[in-house]
Structure 1
């Protein structure tokens, strides 16, 4: 497994210098992978970021989210096409960064909904994602759908829903992006959910139930790593956490980041890397012991 960390540990990622500084700090903490938030190529020099990553020998993951104005579940004749165009551009950014995937909650608006999802919205979203995935495949980019909790989308919250959604797209270039923070809310058993998802999993986020230091909350990570090993998962596992002091108001509101979770982002990153290394090593040891 390749362990990574999200830019949000240091920055919301709205300036070139902030992103490059965060990349430097991620590498200094021992990570070999860095996840970018949604990037606007009109503001951020994507080629320069790619070159900086290469200089650091740092692999990258691109992510994105949809606003209500880009909601691909919408019945408005202008909104879903606008969302499709946005996702196509995000795929191009991922490709140009050197990312083999575009992750995030890209199947609906990333927000708290006040209504139940509709069959039409599900079908519209699946059709849009199928077309985007086909175009992305030509550029070597897979789509990884982040399964976020009920307060951040109404469409897909569980791996069972995610697997069904992938089936409805008919695409072989769409995978699930699971996250222990969200699974802690929506799944009755995280390890069981991982085994159910199996080969559909394309990316993994780890985060505590309180989004603070790993190992200090309610999530039992041992069964999570055991399940990932059981299904033969060898792809990326990244820490996602948020420094409230670095985030703008819209993101704080969407993700409900209302308090500081640590005092030192660099120390948080170092602790996270050591925690992931230990969890993985112990899971491998358990696997060997029961082989």
Structure 2
């Protein structure tokens, strides 16, 4: 990994699209998707860091560079690499996996890695999170932040809903975890889908996380086309504008195109066709940005 001691910072608003609507596996088969997304008007691509071969990401990053597109990435961790585990060896595996993810993201020229990597996905202790668990997670995140800083990448852990995570469900919990991690390259993300289940009011949640907010997922309540459901979008965009948010606005939507991935996240039906999500979703985001003077 070529080192760069400069901390990565989102410089301007960028609209992205997550490839998980098609697949969790990155390959050259995704090149035509990137090309069409560029034509539609997207600034960049977000992909899942499921592979561990940096060359896969370098090839895709080179293709995006030729298109004039940027990128971000997302990662999850399993129970054998859980940052909150009471086992030092399991926590060490978590850090090792995050370092590999950082190497892959760097090879792709990504500036952000998001996801619920503060703990293992859908892994529960069957009790409320403890102070010790938050401190364990924070320690792993701080160490990963040191490694990410060399690559100029921001780590933005994500709060998930109660059915997928117990450590961080709300922006209050996530803000506290980022504070404990105490690293300039460890920030936070906001996901409109999860907030729909866990937050009382979007403006309050966004105001809580605003000081460390560096990534946003635009996701409808049913994971279909943004703007087609009941997410309080006016509250979300007005709060982001009030916070003077600068960073990615990335559509994250799901289908059953990749059955293994869909089964892992309990997606059992189709919501909207991918290109409907991409085309109508981009139009909706632009309309909301204009309406609320976000990025002005």
Q: What is the TM-score normalised by the length of structure 2?
A: 0.90
Q: Please give the per-residue CA displacement for 1:141-186, whole angstroms capped at 9, x wherever unaligned.
A: 1110111111111101111111111111121221111100000001
**Equivalent residue for 1:27, pick from 30, 38, 44:** 38
List 4+ stretches of structure 1 deviating above 6 A.
Answer: none
1:154 partnered with 2:166: yes
1:176 partnered with 2:176: no
1:276 partnered with 2:293: no
Q: Please give the per-residue CA displacement for 1:228-268, whole angstroms capped at 9, x wherever unaligned.
A: 11111021101000121x2233x324422110112x32222
Question: What is aligned with 2:72?
Answer: 61
Q: Please give the per-residue CA displacement for 1:182-229, whole angstroms capped at 9, x wherever unaligned.
A: 000010001211012112101000111111122221112011111111
1:187 partnered with 2:196: no
**Equivalent residue for 1:255, pick from 235, 247, 265:** 265
Equivalent pairs counted in the alignment come to 283
Equivalent residues in 2 for 1:194-213 (5 A)? 194-213=206-225
**Contact 2:38–2:69 (CA under 8 A) maintained in structure 1:** yes
Q: What is the rounded CA distance, in whole Å, between the counterparts of 1:21 and 1:148 in structure 2?
A: 31
Secondary structure of the residue aligned to 1:174 is coil
**Contact 1:112–1:254 (CA under 8 A) maintained in structure 2:** no
**Contact 2:60–2:108 (CA under 8 A) maintained in structure 1:** yes
Secondary structure of the residue aligned to 1:88 is helix
Q: Please give the per-residue CA displacement for 1:102-131, whole angstroms capped at 9, x wherever unaligned.
A: 111111001152512333322211101101
Question: What is aligned with 1:102?
Answer: 113
Question: What is aligned with 2:9?
Answer: none
Secondary structure of the residue aligned to 1:35 is strand
Alpha-carbon offset, residue 40 of structure 1: 1.3
**Contact 1:29–1:266 (CA under 8 A) maintained in structure 2:** no
Q: What is the rounded CA distance, in whole Å, between the counterparts of 2:54 and 2:209 in structure 1?
A: 37
**Contact 2:55–2:107 (CA under 8 A) maintained in structure 1:** no
**Contact 1:133–1:173 (CA under 8 A) maintained in structure 2:** yes
Question: What is aligned with 2:19?
Answer: 7
Gaps of 5+ in 1: none
Q: What is the rounded CA distance, in whole Å, between the counterparts of 2:39 and 2:50 in structure 1?
A: 23
**Equivalent residue for 1:235, pick from 247, 252, 274:** 247
* C-alpha spacing 1:150/1:83, structure 2 compared with 1 (3 Å): same
Secondary structure of the residue aligned to 1:284 is coil
Q: What is the TM-score normalised by the length of structure 1?
A: 0.92
**Equivalent residue for 1:266, pick from 264, 267, 275:** 275
**Contact 1:144–1:176 (CA under 8 A) maintained in structure 2:** yes
* C-alpha spacing 1:123/1:24, structure 2 compared with 1 (3 Å): same
**Contact 2:154–2:186 (CA under 8 A) maintained in structure 1:** yes
